[in-house]
Protein backbone atom coordinates (compact mmCIF):
# COMPACT_ATOMS: atom_id res chain seq x y z
CA UNK A 1 0.00 0.00 0.00
CA UNK A 2 2.86 2.38 0.84
CA UNK A 3 4.49 1.85 -2.56
CA UNK A 4 1.20 2.61 -4.32
CA UNK A 5 0.76 5.76 -2.23
CA UNK A 6 4.27 6.82 -3.18
CA UNK A 7 3.54 6.20 -6.86
CA UNK A 8 0.04 7.64 -7.12
CA UNK A 9 0.22 10.52 -4.64
CA UNK A 10 3.77 11.61 -3.84
CA UNK A 11 5.34 11.29 -7.28
CA UNK A 12 2.15 12.50 -8.94
CA UNK A 13 1.84 15.73 -6.90
CA UNK A 14 1.79 17.96 -9.98
CA UNK A 15 -1.55 16.45 -11.03
CA UNK A 16 -3.15 17.43 -7.74
CA UNK A 17 -1.59 20.89 -7.84
CA UNK A 18 -3.03 21.47 -11.32
CA UNK A 19 -6.47 20.25 -10.22
CA UNK A 20 -6.43 22.56 -7.19
CA UNK A 21 -5.32 25.47 -9.41
CA UNK A 22 -8.20 24.72 -11.79
CA UNK A 23 -10.68 24.89 -8.91
CA UNK A 24 -9.22 28.23 -7.76
CA UNK A 25 -9.39 29.74 -11.24
CA UNK A 26 -12.95 28.54 -11.83
CA UNK A 27 -13.96 29.73 -8.37
CA UNK A 28 -12.61 33.20 -9.10
CA UNK A 29 -14.42 33.33 -12.45
CA UNK A 30 -17.71 32.13 -10.96
CA UNK A 31 -17.41 34.62 -8.10
CA UNK A 32 -17.04 37.48 -10.58
CA UNK A 33 -20.00 36.23 -12.63
CA UNK A 34 -22.22 35.91 -9.55
CA UNK A 35 -21.21 39.37 -8.31
CA UNK A 36 -22.06 40.86 -11.70
CA UNK A 37 -25.39 39.02 -11.77
CA UNK A 38 -26.26 40.25 -8.28
CA UNK A 39 -25.37 43.79 -9.31
CA UNK A 40 -27.71 43.59 -12.29
CA UNK A 41 -30.69 42.46 -10.19
CA UNK A 42 -30.15 44.98 -7.38
CA UNK A 43 -33.01 47.40 -6.74
CA UNK A 44 -31.60 50.95 -6.40
CA UNK A 45 -33.46 52.98 -3.79
CA UNK A 46 -32.55 56.61 -3.03
CA UNK A 47 -33.32 58.11 0.38
CA UNK A 48 -33.47 61.85 1.03
CA UNK A 49 -33.25 62.27 4.80
CA UNK A 50 -34.16 65.71 6.14
CA UNK A 51 -34.41 64.46 9.71
CA UNK A 52 -31.02 63.64 11.19
CA UNK A 53 -32.55 61.71 14.07
CA UNK A 54 -32.16 58.24 15.54
CA UNK A 55 -35.51 57.11 14.12
CA UNK A 56 -34.67 58.16 10.57
CA UNK A 57 -31.29 56.45 10.81
CA UNK A 58 -32.98 53.27 12.04
CA UNK A 59 -35.34 53.39 9.06
CA UNK A 60 -32.43 53.77 6.63
CA UNK A 61 -30.60 50.88 8.30
CA UNK A 62 -33.70 48.70 8.01
CA UNK A 63 -34.03 49.55 4.31
CA UNK A 64 -30.38 48.69 3.67
CA UNK A 65 -30.94 45.27 5.22
CA UNK A 66 -33.71 44.42 2.75
CA UNK A 67 -32.70 41.73 0.22
CA UNK A 68 -31.68 43.13 -3.19
CA UNK A 69 -32.04 46.75 -2.02
CA UNK A 70 -29.14 49.03 -2.90
CA UNK A 71 -29.81 52.13 -0.81
CA UNK A 72 -28.04 55.41 -1.54
CA UNK A 73 -28.23 58.75 0.26
CA UNK A 74 -29.70 61.59 -1.79
CA UNK A 75 -28.46 65.06 -0.94
CA UNK A 76 -30.96 67.30 0.85
CA UNK A 77 -29.91 70.01 -1.61
CA UNK A 78 -31.54 68.08 -4.43
CA UNK A 79 -34.69 70.03 -5.34
CA UNK A 80 -36.18 67.47 -7.71
CA UNK A 81 -35.67 64.02 -6.14
CA UNK A 82 -38.35 62.54 -8.40
CA UNK A 83 -35.91 62.95 -11.30
CA UNK A 84 -34.02 59.92 -9.91
CA UNK A 85 -37.04 57.79 -10.77
CA UNK A 86 -37.87 59.60 -14.02
CA UNK A 87 -34.32 59.12 -15.31
CA UNK A 88 -34.33 55.49 -14.08
CA UNK A 89 -31.40 55.97 -11.75
CA UNK A 90 -33.54 54.57 -8.94
CA UNK A 91 -36.60 52.36 -8.67
CA UNK A 92 -37.89 54.46 -5.80
CA UNK A 93 -37.10 57.60 -3.84
CA UNK A 94 -38.02 57.82 -0.15
CA UNK A 95 -38.21 61.29 1.41
CA UNK A 96 -37.97 61.42 5.19
CA UNK A 97 -39.33 64.78 6.47
CA UNK A 98 -37.48 66.91 9.01
CA UNK A 99 -40.12 66.20 11.67
CA UNK A 100 -40.13 62.43 11.17
CA UNK A 101 -39.17 61.48 14.73
CA UNK A 102 -41.54 64.07 16.21
CA UNK A 103 -44.46 62.75 14.16
CA UNK A 104 -43.66 59.19 15.24
CA UNK A 105 -43.61 60.28 18.88
CA UNK A 106 -46.91 62.11 18.38
CA UNK A 107 -48.39 58.98 16.73
CA UNK A 108 -49.03 60.93 13.51
CA UNK A 109 -47.81 58.14 11.26
CA UNK A 110 -50.27 58.51 8.38
CA UNK A 111 -48.53 59.81 5.26
CA UNK A 112 -45.34 60.51 7.14
CA UNK A 113 -43.11 59.41 4.23
CA UNK A 114 -43.13 60.70 0.67
CA UNK A 115 -42.48 58.06 -1.96
CA UNK A 116 -41.73 58.37 -5.67
CA UNK A 117 -41.69 55.01 -7.43
CA UNK A 118 -41.71 53.49 -10.90
CA UNK A 119 -45.14 52.39 -12.09
CA UNK A 120 -44.39 48.77 -12.89
CA UNK A 121 -44.22 45.38 -11.19
CA UNK A 122 -40.77 46.07 -9.70
CA UNK A 123 -42.02 49.38 -8.36
CA UNK A 124 -44.97 47.63 -6.71
CA UNK A 125 -42.62 45.15 -5.01
CA UNK A 126 -40.37 47.95 -3.76
CA UNK A 127 -43.37 49.96 -2.54
CA UNK A 128 -44.67 46.97 -0.59
CA UNK A 129 -41.25 46.33 0.97
CA UNK A 130 -40.76 49.98 1.97
CA UNK A 131 -44.28 50.13 3.40
CA UNK A 132 -43.73 47.00 5.48
CA UNK A 133 -40.38 48.32 6.73
CA UNK A 134 -41.88 51.66 7.73
CA UNK A 135 -44.90 49.99 9.34
CA UNK A 136 -42.63 47.72 11.36
CA UNK A 137 -40.93 50.79 12.82
CA UNK A 138 -44.23 52.61 13.41
CA UNK A 139 -46.05 49.65 14.94
CA UNK A 140 -44.90 50.19 18.58
CA UNK A 141 -46.05 53.82 18.39
CA UNK A 142 -49.45 52.73 17.07
CA UNK A 143 -49.81 50.17 19.85
CA UNK A 144 -48.78 52.72 22.45
CA UNK A 145 -51.48 55.06 21.20
CA UNK A 146 -54.15 52.40 21.83
CA UNK A 147 -52.70 51.59 25.27
CA UNK A 148 -52.48 55.23 26.29
CA UNK A 149 -55.63 54.95 28.43
CA UNK A 150 -53.90 52.23 30.45
CA UNK A 151 -50.94 54.51 31.25
CA UNK A 152 -48.42 52.17 29.59
CA UNK A 153 -45.23 53.99 28.63
CA UNK A 154 -43.86 53.90 25.08
CA UNK A 155 -40.58 52.44 26.39
CA UNK A 156 -42.47 49.48 27.85
CA UNK A 157 -44.16 48.89 24.51
CA UNK A 158 -40.78 48.90 22.73
CA UNK A 159 -39.30 46.46 25.25
CA UNK A 160 -42.26 44.09 24.93
CA UNK A 161 -42.29 44.36 21.12
CA UNK A 162 -38.60 43.45 20.85
CA UNK A 163 -39.21 40.48 23.11
CA UNK A 164 -42.20 39.02 21.26
CA UNK A 165 -41.56 40.39 17.76
CA UNK A 166 -43.01 37.85 15.31
CA UNK A 167 -40.69 36.26 12.79
CA UNK A 168 -41.62 36.10 9.13
CA UNK A 169 -42.73 32.68 7.93
CA UNK A 170 -41.56 33.34 4.38
CA UNK A 171 -37.83 33.11 3.71
CA UNK A 172 -35.84 34.06 0.64
CA UNK A 173 -33.46 31.47 -0.67
CA UNK A 174 -30.87 32.28 -3.28
CA UNK A 175 -27.71 30.79 -4.76
CA UNK A 176 -25.72 32.19 -1.84
CA UNK A 177 -27.94 30.59 0.85
CA UNK A 178 -28.50 27.14 -0.60
CA UNK A 179 -29.72 23.91 0.88
CA UNK A 180 -28.11 20.54 0.10
CA UNK A 181 -30.95 19.96 -2.41
CA UNK A 182 -30.24 22.99 -4.58
CA UNK A 183 -29.14 23.83 -8.07
CA UNK A 184 -26.19 25.68 -6.53
CA UNK A 185 -24.76 22.46 -5.16
CA UNK A 186 -25.58 20.68 -8.41
CA UNK A 187 -23.61 23.33 -10.32
CA UNK A 188 -20.60 22.81 -8.04
CA UNK A 189 -20.75 19.03 -8.56
CA UNK A 190 -20.89 19.50 -12.33
CA UNK A 191 -17.83 21.78 -12.21
CA UNK A 192 -16.09 19.21 -10.00
CA UNK A 193 -16.78 16.44 -12.52
CA UNK A 194 -15.57 18.52 -15.46
CA UNK A 195 -12.37 19.39 -13.62
CA UNK A 196 -11.97 15.71 -12.79
CA UNK A 197 -11.98 14.83 -16.49
CA UNK A 198 -8.64 16.64 -16.77
CA UNK A 199 -6.95 13.81 -14.88
CA UNK A 200 -7.32 11.64 -18.00
CA UNK A 201 -4.56 13.68 -19.61
CA UNK A 202 -2.62 14.36 -16.42
CA UNK A 203 -2.34 10.68 -15.47
CA UNK A 204 -1.29 9.26 -18.84
CA UNK A 205 2.21 8.51 -17.55
CA UNK A 206 0.80 6.86 -14.43
CA UNK A 207 -1.46 4.38 -16.22
CA UNK A 208 0.86 2.73 -18.71
CA UNK A 209 -0.49 -0.62 -20.06
CA UNK A 210 2.79 -2.48 -19.39
CA UNK A 211 2.99 -1.30 -15.79
CA UNK A 212 -0.65 -2.09 -15.15
CA UNK A 213 -0.19 -5.56 -16.64
CA UNK A 214 2.40 -6.31 -13.96
CA UNK A 215 0.06 -4.97 -11.28
CA UNK A 216 -2.71 -7.31 -12.47
CA UNK A 217 -0.55 -10.35 -11.72
CA UNK A 218 -1.56 -10.10 -8.06
CA UNK A 219 -5.25 -9.40 -7.38
CA UNK A 220 -4.44 -7.86 -4.00
CA UNK A 221 -2.10 -5.30 -5.57
CA UNK A 222 -4.68 -4.50 -8.22
CA UNK A 223 -7.29 -3.74 -5.53
CA UNK A 224 -4.80 -1.62 -3.58
CA UNK A 225 -4.03 0.36 -6.73
CA UNK A 226 -7.73 1.06 -7.27
CA UNK A 227 -8.31 1.99 -3.63
CA UNK A 228 -5.40 4.43 -3.44
CA UNK A 229 -6.22 6.00 -6.81
CA UNK A 230 -9.94 6.47 -6.06
CA UNK A 231 -9.32 7.70 -2.50
CA UNK A 232 -6.60 10.20 -3.46
CA UNK A 233 -8.43 11.72 -6.41
CA UNK A 234 -11.79 11.75 -4.63
CA UNK A 235 -10.17 13.64 -1.75
CA UNK A 236 -8.72 16.22 -4.15
CA UNK A 237 -12.04 16.71 -5.95
CA UNK A 238 -14.04 17.08 -2.73
CA UNK A 239 -11.58 19.51 -1.14
CA UNK A 240 -11.44 21.52 -4.37
CA UNK A 241 -15.26 21.58 -4.60
CA UNK A 242 -15.54 22.71 -0.96
CA UNK A 243 -13.05 25.50 -1.68
CA UNK A 244 -15.12 26.45 -4.72
CA UNK A 245 -18.26 26.60 -2.58
CA UNK A 246 -16.55 28.86 -0.06
CA UNK A 247 -15.25 31.15 -2.80
CA UNK A 248 -18.70 31.72 -4.30
CA UNK A 249 -20.44 31.92 -0.93
CA UNK A 250 -22.38 28.66 -0.87
CA UNK A 251 -23.17 27.17 2.53
CA UNK A 252 -21.25 24.02 3.45
CA UNK A 253 -23.08 21.34 5.42
CA UNK A 254 -22.48 17.72 6.35
CA UNK A 255 -25.08 16.63 3.80
CA UNK A 256 -23.41 18.69 1.07
CA UNK A 257 -20.04 17.10 1.89
CA UNK A 258 -21.61 13.64 1.74
CA UNK A 259 -23.21 14.36 -1.65
CA UNK A 260 -19.90 15.70 -3.01
CA UNK A 261 -18.01 12.68 -1.70
CA UNK A 262 -20.51 10.21 -3.15
CA UNK A 263 -20.39 11.89 -6.57
CA UNK A 264 -16.58 12.04 -6.51
CA UNK A 265 -16.16 8.38 -5.53
CA UNK A 266 -18.59 7.15 -8.21
CA UNK A 267 -16.86 9.30 -10.82
CA UNK A 268 -13.34 8.22 -9.78
CA UNK A 269 -14.27 4.53 -9.88
CA UNK A 270 -15.38 5.03 -13.47
CA UNK A 271 -12.23 6.99 -14.36
CA UNK A 272 -9.99 4.36 -12.79
CA UNK A 273 -11.68 1.65 -14.84
CA UNK A 274 -11.27 3.71 -18.01
CA UNK A 275 -7.58 4.35 -17.36
CA UNK A 276 -6.85 0.68 -16.73
CA UNK A 277 -9.07 -0.96 -19.37
CA UNK A 278 -9.19 1.51 -22.27
CA UNK A 279 -5.81 2.01 -23.93
CA UNK A 280 -6.51 4.80 -26.42
CA UNK A 281 -6.25 8.23 -24.79
CA UNK A 282 -8.88 9.84 -27.03
CA UNK A 283 -11.33 7.07 -26.16
CA UNK A 284 -10.57 7.53 -22.47
CA UNK A 285 -11.24 11.27 -22.71
CA UNK A 286 -14.44 10.84 -24.71
CA UNK A 287 -15.84 8.17 -22.40
CA UNK A 288 -14.89 10.21 -19.30
CA UNK A 289 -16.75 13.22 -20.67
CA UNK A 290 -19.82 11.10 -21.45
CA UNK A 291 -19.67 9.58 -17.96
CA UNK A 292 -19.34 13.03 -16.34
CA UNK A 293 -22.24 14.41 -18.39
CA UNK A 294 -24.40 11.42 -17.50
CA UNK A 295 -23.72 11.88 -13.79
CA UNK A 296 -24.38 15.62 -14.16
CA UNK A 297 -27.79 15.01 -15.76
CA UNK A 298 -28.70 12.52 -13.02
CA UNK A 299 -27.67 15.00 -10.32
CA UNK A 300 -29.67 17.85 -11.87
CA UNK A 301 -32.75 15.62 -12.14
CA UNK A 302 -32.37 14.59 -8.50
CA UNK A 303 -32.03 18.22 -7.42
CA UNK A 304 -35.12 19.17 -9.41
CA UNK A 305 -37.08 16.33 -7.88
CA UNK A 306 -37.00 13.99 -10.86
CA UNK A 307 -38.93 13.94 -14.10
CA UNK A 308 -42.71 14.17 -13.82
274-291 per-position pLDDT tens digit: 887 887 888 889 999 999
How is the chain classified by DSSP, letter by letter?
A: -HHHHIIIIITTHHHHHHHHHHHHHHHHHHHHHHHHHHHHT-EEEEEEE---SHHHHHHHHHHHTSTTEEEEEPPTT-S-TTHHHHTTS-SEEEEE-TTHHHHHHTT--TT-SEEEE-SSHHHHHHHHHHHHHHHHHHHHHHHHHHTGGGT--HHHHHHHHHHHPPPPS-----SSS--SSSHHHHHHHHHHHHHHHTHHHHTTTTS-HHHHHHHTTSHHHHHHHHHHHHHHHHHHHHHHHHHHHHHHT----HHHHHHHHHHHHHHHHHHHHHHHH---HHHHHHHHHHHHHHHHHHHHHHHTT---
pLDDT value of position 146: 56
| C-beta of residue 31 within 8 angstroms of C-beta of residue 247 | yes
| C-beta of residue 196 within 8 angstroms of C-beta of residue 264 | yes
- For residues 203 and 34, what is the distance between their CA atoms, to the nearest angstrom? 33
pLDDT value of position 2: 56
Q: How many residues are present in the chain? A: 308
pLDDT value of position 174: 45
| C-beta of residue 267 within 8 angstroms of C-beta of residue 275 | no
| C-beta of residue 270 within 8 angstroms of C-beta of residue 291 | yes
Rg (CA), the chain: 29
27-36 per-position pLDDT tens digit: 888 888 887 7
Tell me the domains of the chain and their CATH numbers: 2-33+176-303 (no CATH), 42-160 (3.40.190.10)
Question: Which of the residues in the chain have pLDDT under 70?
Answer: 1-2, 4, 7, 40, 109, 141-182, 205-219, 221, 304-308
pLDDT value of position 169: 46
Amino acid sequence: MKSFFQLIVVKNWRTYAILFAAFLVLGGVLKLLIAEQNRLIELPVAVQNFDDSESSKQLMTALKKQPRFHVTNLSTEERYPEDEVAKQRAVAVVIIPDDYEKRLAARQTSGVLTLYVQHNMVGDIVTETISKTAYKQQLPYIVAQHLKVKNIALEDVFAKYKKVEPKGQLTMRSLVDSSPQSLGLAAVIIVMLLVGVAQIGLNRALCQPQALARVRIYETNYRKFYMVYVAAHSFVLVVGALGLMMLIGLSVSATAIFVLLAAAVVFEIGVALLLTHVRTWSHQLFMALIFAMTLAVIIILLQLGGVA
